[in-house]
Amino acid sequence: MQPAVQFSGIIPPVSTLFTPDGQFDAKSTGVLIDDLITAGVDGLFFLGSGGEFSQLSLDERKAVAQFVTSHVSKRVPVLIGTGGTNARETIALSQHAQECGADGIVVINPYYWKVSEENLVNYYQQVADSVTLPIILYNFPALTGQDLTPAIVKRLVASRKNIVGIKDTIDSIAHIRSMINTVKAEHPHFSVLCGYDDHLFNTLMMGGDGAISASVNFAPQLSVNLRRAFLEGDLGTAAKIHQKLVQVPQIYQLDTPFVNVIKEAMVLCGREMSTWTMPPAGVLDDTRRQQLKALLKRLELC
């Protein structure tokens, strides 16, 4: 019997919240977690790109992982981002996530160096062998400079049972389709989760499993309700919500990195919190904040 899909649905890449002086804000993070669970998400992903993992120290990443796993307390699955530029750190963070009680880890491919296919496969196999936790691969070639192709992913899934899914953050529905047709067709338990809001509907229509997309931080009702309508066979409602979701990625063009934009959107949508972000991300200026507000108003989100 084929194992079931372990991770599916709407799993937000939760923003890491800080106080105005740059300290991890456990209180605000706890409130955000509770609200997202109440909104009906199917899991929570911490310490991804939007969680500012690349700007945090090893100890800071461990502290966040410890808090969030404890606070969620098994209400929904918790995924912890453990990837980085070297295998030793990734393995250490992966083992720490397991010790904390996480339900899975999300591992981006090493960046800075482009890595040969053999070295890339060996890297992921070393991480997979270091834990018993299920692993979701994290493909974000626009930031890493290297694509996790369907052929490489298929090879990895065949080689290690605990490699169970992928967050495919790529602005190409053809890539997601190929991931479904190449990998999921042979391994039905493998989760294919898109990373961009505007690909959720197409991903579901093609047989994928959901999304790990940033807008869920400030507008969870869009993705949650779209998937709910899809599962109920109400494609008309799903398509109507999709018409809003396809407009959302415009906000990511307002600044780079766009983690500050997500936090400003959360505040504009009614959340009381600091929008402080770890450098090199900066403060969103008033002109772009007004542009963000106008877009959110146009989409009836604030």
Q: List the catalytic residues.
A: 49, 112, 138, 167
Structure tokens given for 295 = 């877009």
Token pair of 279 as six digits = 């450098």
With 0-12 CB in 10 A as exposed, 13-18 as middle and 19+ as buried, what is 2?
A: exposed
Q: Is the Cβ–Cβ distance between 281 and 257 less than 8 Å? A: yes
Given a contact cutoff of 8 angstroms between Cβ atoms, the answer to whether 141 and 84 are in contact is no
Q: If you search the block for the tokens 């509770």, which residue do you land on? A: 34
Q: Considering only CA atoms, which of 230, 167, 147, 160 is closest in space to residue 11?
A: 167
**Hey, what are 82's tokens?**
């453990």
Is-contact 181 232, C-beta < 8 A?
no
Q: Residue 17 in contact with residue 28, Cβ under 8 Å?
A: yes
Structure tokens at 81: 């981002």
